[in-house]
Amino acid sequence: MLMRQTLDFLLYHWLKVDRLSARERFSEHSRETFDAVLDTCERIAREKFAPFNRLADTEEPRFDGERVHLPQATHEALAAYVESGMLAAAQDAEHGGLQLPCVIEMAANCFFSKASVAMGGYAMLTNGNANLLMAHGTPVQREVFAMNEFSGRWFGTMCLSEPQAGSSLSDVATRAEPDGADFEADPLGPRYRLTGNKMWISGGEHEITENIVHLVLAKIPGPDGKPLPGTKGISLFIVPKHLVDTDGRLTGERNDVALAGLNHKLGYRGTTNCLLNFGEGRQLPGGRPGAIGYLVGKPGEGLRCMFHMMNEARIGVGLGAVMLGYAGYEASLDYARQRPQGRPMTAAGKDASQPQRPIIEHADVKRMLLAQKSYVEGGLALELFCARLVDEQHTGTPEEAAAARLLLDVLIPIAKSWPSEWCLEANSLAIQVLGGYGYTRDFPVEQYWRDNRLNMIHEGTHGIQALDLLGRKVVMDGGQALMALAGRISDTAQRAGQVPGLAEAANELGAALAAVGGATKKAWSTGEPEEALANATPYLQAFGHTVLAWIWLEVVLALEGTDLESDFAQGKRAAQRYFFAYELPKIHAWLGVVARREALTREMRDAWF
């Protein structure tokens, strides 16, 4: 089954995305224009990305002390991406954008992530950067920076982490001081001088574009010269690698931003990842050290601005994880169909003079393929569902928007974390299907596994997602968001209960939901965050599996009215059966410790390890 077939089914048959064209924002669109975008992206990904994915891994970015070198193929792939207009996929037509729904933009980007997640990384970051500026920048900032990013003339980055402050943004130490008495008069925005170090900056240095627009979190010192502790003192700045004028022309002056080093990673090697030094004085813009940065939004609102696009960013990471899983699934399925090895377990199978059979005929290989199918197709459905909610939030009625926002609140931690964990497992299963061959670099599956290992770490670690879910999302506003999701899940279970063959699954989903709800209550029954959150990660896992079971039931319900005997429908039903039989029962082990507020991890002492 081609991914495109599943994608089309999910988009049009399940999510009714074509109906979005009834909304004013998308009125120029139709299924035809959506399909044209998908076709174009699928083609570019096949021609310009996929053939060079291994190359992007083996020819790792190299810093010669002056410049960073990337394979020519990366330059060409990204040129083709720029050419497609996808950098401005969701932007207004009047700004040269395609004005596409989020769900179509995400679906189209699937092809690039599956073909080469690391090469695609530069574009995803640039898109997020420019979208943020459109939301929070001044008209001049939008015109100068965002527009030149949408056109692909410049690329962008997000600079949050620092060597001493990874997940803990309150400890950001980069300083931003007003640049001269007239600092507020700069047409590009209030002008500051930044000093500090930023770590883990993807796309932080390269020669793909003539300039790089860094978005940097930094603290403006208070009257006492000290930055405010905590996240409240954090502001957001545009720090271009090369200084520019208000017409977007390079002034010829290099900003005081220096590459301190490239990180050499396990995977995802095609995307440069950098330690950047701001204001160390290697360059002297305006005759003195300090990286020039232009304030975005108001002082102290840096995190709010940066996280404005967080939902989309986290859906994007989740979808990247899904696509790595999908790529491995396809590779191992292809291998399993072609590789003869062993014979059936029947009496006839004992005759060694008979030719060997393709390994896809063995139950255990089918188990490994079904697991992958249930993870990657389920993950794809989840991410598209979330992207569809983003559209609902942006273009639905106020009621629809509010309902979508509630669901997104609880679903985003799952959309980010679940594929990071389970599509990584899918990649491991793909290696296993290929056996020794899967362990060699002659096949792509080992690279997918290495690439995917990043996704549990960046854009909020697994542990951070778990705290976000159990510590905030399910309890805020009196648990409204959780109740909204529970309502949706119950509704699905009720509908499934009426469908022949799905009643048992409907019951199991209902029971899982009740178990999650019960554990949530028990976790918080003492009201002590330390007690509730000691088992936030197992909670996240159980919650995720329950959500995926729900998504799978949704998907097979959408088959109703189609030919249920088709290979397509049978495959979807089998994957849903797999998920309910082999995966969903795992939640009880995870919820057990949550519900009884297992204190072991809190009681454990350093000296006992």
Rule CB under 8 A: which of 270-329 touch its own copies?
none
Q: How far apart are CA 336 and CA 368, in angstroms?
A: 10
| Under rule CB under 8 A, residue 340 binds its own copies | yes
Q: Which is nearer to its own copies, 211 or 465 (CB)?
A: 465
Contact 234, 247 (CB under 8 A): no
What's CA 148's distance to the chain center, in Å? 24
Residue 313 CB, shortest distance to its own copies, in Å, is 17
Site for its own copies in 520-539 (CB under 8 A): 529-530, 533-538
Sign, Cα dihedral of 334, 581, 315, 108: positive
Question: What are the φ and ψ backbone dihedral angles of 198, each rounded to 5 degrees?
Answer: -115, 130
Residue closer to its own copies by CB (options 105, 459) is 459
User: Rule CB under 8 A: is residue 456 a binding residue for its own copies?
Assistant: yes
Stretch that binds its own copies, among 65-73, 108-116, 459-467, 549-557 (CB under 8 A): 459-467
66 catalytic per annotation: no
* Cα 314 to Cα 412: distance, rounded to the nearest angstrom: 7
Q: How do 62-63 and 242-244 pair as beta strands?
A: unpaired
Interaction of residue 439 with its own copies, rule CB under 8 A: yes
**CB of residue 142 to its own copies, shortest distance in Å:** 31
- Identified binder of its own copies from the candidate list 431, 549, 555, 557, rule CB under 8 A: 431
Alpha carbon of residue 427 to chain centroid? 17
- Quick one: residue 290, left, alpha or beta (phi over 0 = left, psi -120 to 50 = alpha)? left
Q: Which of 110, 103, 92 is nearest to 45 (CA)?
A: 110
Binding mask 70-109 for its own copies (x = CB under 8 A): ----------------------------------------
Tell the smallest beta-carbon distance from residue 314 to its own copies (Å): 17
Among the candidate windows 97-105, 148-156, 176-184, 340-348, which touches its own copies by CB under 8 A? 340-348
Identified catalytic residue from 312, 459, 508, 583: 459
When asked if residue 32 is in the footprint of its own copies (CB under 8 A), the reply is no
Single out the segment in contact with its own copies by CB under 8 A; choices: 77-85, 176-184, 505-513, 583-591. 583-591
Q: How far apart are CA 402 and CA 30, in angstroms?
A: 26
Give Cα 441 distance to the centre of its chain: 26
Residue 2 lies near its own copies (rule: CB under 8 A): no
Cβ of residue 475: shortest distance to its own copies, in angstroms? 14
Q: Report which residue type is found at 27.
A: S
User: Given candidates 11, 37, 370, 376, which one binds its own copies under the rule CB under 8 A?
Assistant: 370
Task: Assess 503 for contact with its own copies (CB under 8 A).
Answer: no
Identify residue 492 by its one-letter amino acid code: T
> Smaller CB distance to its own copies: residue 34 or 580?
580
Nearest to 419 by CA among 374, 474, 359, 388: 374
Distance CA 77, CA 89 (A): 17
For residues 480 and 406, the answer to whether their CB atoms sit within 8 Å is yes
Shortest CB 231 distance to its own copies, Å: 8
> Does the protein bind its own copies through residue 507 (CB under 8 A)?
no
Closer to its own copies by CB, 83 or 442: give it: 442
Give the length of the chain: 609
> What is the residue whose two structure tokens read 């905030």?
472
Which x/- pattern, by CB under 8 A, does the window 382-421 give for its own copies?
Answer: ----------------------------------------
21: helix, strand or coil = helix
* Cα-Cα-Cα-Cα dihedral sign, residues 507, 510, 514, 520: positive
Q: Which residues contact 315 (CB under 8 A, 6 or more apart)?
A: 106, 383, 386, 387, 390, 412, 415, 416
Segment contacting its own copies (CB under 8 A): 91-99, 139-147, 425-433, 497-505?
A: 425-433
Is 369 within 8 Å of 446 (Cβ atoms)?
no
Q: Are strands 191-202 and 234-240 parallel, antiparallel or unpaired?
A: unpaired
Site for its own copies in 462-491 (CB under 8 A): 462-463, 466-467
Piece in contact with its own copies (CB under 8 A), picked from 105-113, 242-250, 438-446, 549-557: 438-446
Contact segment (CB under 8 A) with its own copies among 237-245, 353-361, 388-396, 477-485 equals 353-361
Site for its own copies in 243-272 (CB under 8 A): 263-267
* 352 makes contact with its own copies (CB under 8 A): yes
Does 438 bind its own copies (CB under 8 A)? Our answer is yes
| Token pair 């009047």: residue | 94
Query: Could you list the active site residues?
Result: 459
